[in-house]
Amino acid sequence: MTKLSVNINKIATLRNARGGNTPNVLQAALDIERFGADGITVHPRPDERHIRYQDVHDLKPALQTEFNVEGYPNQSFMDLVLSVKPAQVTLVPDPPGVLTSNAGWDTIKNQSLLSEVIATLKKAGLRTSIFIECDHSLIEGAAKLGSDRIELYTESFAVNYRKSKEQAVAPYVQASQWAHDFGLGVNAGHDLNQENLGYFAESLPYLDEVSIGHALISEALYIGLENAVQAYQKALGK
C-alpha cells in the first residue's frame, strides 16, 4: 500500500517568519507520525529559508518512521545526508534560489554528476530516488545510474486533473510501468492534494510513496493537523 510521507517545510517557513521556535518543527513532525503518517520529508535549501540543516540533525534520532531528505546534491547537501543517514535521499535539480521544484532531472545530460552522487549514497547504504518526469529515456537513464527509485513530478497531473483526469494520469501510469520494468520503485509528489490523490494512487500500478506538504499543511489550518493527515491516508485507501 502506498505510503504517505508528509513534507514539513511549510511548518518551518512559519517558524522562520517570526523567529524563535514556534511552531516547533520537531514536535510537529512527531505529532504527524503519531497522527498516522508513514514518513517525514524535508527539503533543506542552501539559504535555509524553511528547513534548516540543524533541523535535519535534530529530526533524525527522534523519528520513528522513514525520513526522506530532498535536495540538490551540492557539497553541503551531500555532507549533510552522509552525516545524518536518512532512510531515503531524493535528488532534486533545484538551482540555488528557486522558489519550489519545477522540473525533473535530465538523467542523460546529468549522467556524470548523478552517477557519482548515487554511487556515493549507495556506498553509504542510503536508498536513492531521482525527481523525474514521465519520459521513457530519462527513466531508463535513472535505472542505468543505479537509482533505487524515481519520484514522478506530478504538477502536470494536478494542473490538468479537472480538465480530464483520465488524460492527466495516463502519462504517469505509463511511467510507473516503465519504472517497474526497469526495476525501479516509484514515488510521486508536487501539487498532489486531497481532491486528486485518491484517483492518482488508485490509477498507478506500482506506487510506493507520495510526498505531500503544501496542500496538507494548508488544509490543516482549517481542519487541524491530525484530521488532515488522516484524510490523506483515507484518500490512499487506509
- Tens digit of pLDDT for each residue in 166-217? 999 999 999 999 999 999 999 999 999 999 999 999 999 999 999 999 999 9
Residue 32: which of 216, 222, 208, 198 has the closest Cα? 216
The pLDDT of residue 95: 65
Annotated active-site residue 50? The verdict is: no
Which residue among 33, 50, 151, 190 is the active-site one? Answer: 190
Q: Could you tell me the three cell numbers for 123?
A: 556506498
Reported as a pLDDT band with limits 50, 70 and 90, residue 46 is confident
Annotated active-site residue 70? The verdict is: yes
Q: Could you tell me the three cell numbers for 25?
A: 518543527
Annotated active-site residue 190? The verdict is: yes
63, pLDDT greater than 70: yes
Give the pLDDT confidence of 68-87 residue by residue, as tens digits.
999 999 999 999 999 999 99
The pLDDT of residue 224: 98
- φ, ψ at 160 (rounded to 5°): -100, 0
Which residue among 33, 70, 151, 219 is the active-site one? Answer: 70
pTM equals 0.95
CA distance linking residue 136 with residue 150, whole number of Å: 12
Q: What is 3-235's CATH number?
A: 3.20.20.70
Residue 91: which of 61, 62, 63, 122 has the closest Cα? 122
